[in-house]
Amino acid sequence: MTEFQTRCLDTFPDWLRTLASDALELGELLSSAEVAEPARRHVAGSLNYLFKSLDLIPDGIEDLGFLDDAFVLRVAASLSLEASPEAGQRAAVLSRLSGDTKLIAELLGKDYPRLVNYVKSLGRSAARGRTVDEILSDETIRSSFLHEVHGWSLSYAAPSFGRDEKNLIKLTAFLSAKLPS
């Protein structure tokens, strides 16, 4: 096993364990007037992704099912900081999650820009009949959405992630096959 594979296999279980708390922390930003709208737009898109019925890797797939969600939150945090660099001073979660994208980029290689483009497109999509524009502009919808994020985080149980390099091969194969070109 390579040093890089070991780093991934050591890190990804932590990302799965913190996925619920990461989502809650990001959710707090949606109501913050201190965080600019472009940054909140990426956050809303990534949180809405948690509720998409067809995501990149189906949530029921053992070991891998929620890693795409963890990846999406991290890429969205990075995009939020690109859109509004000052947001990182007001929201440590953005800086922390954004820093993790280096590992994702190294793992996905040429497919990483496709993931970034996919995460950017989430701002134009809907989940459970709710768009990002509605989440950002309508207080009632945002409140309901944040209530759902909270409920999701309470019900989320971190899956195991086996220390098998085959999991990394399956992960990259799934994302390579599912990410739009």
181 residues of the chain, pLDDT tens digit each: 899 999 999 999 999 999 999 999 999 999 888 889 999 999 999 999 999 888 899 888 877 989 999 999 999 999 999 999 888 777 889 999 999 999 999 999 999 999 999 999 999 989 999 999 999 999 999 999 999 999 999 999 999 888 899 999 999 999 999 999 8
Give the pTM: 0.96
| C-alpha distances in Å from residue 8, one per residue of 35, 98, 126 | 31, 16, 31
- β-bridge mates for residue 131, sequence order: 126
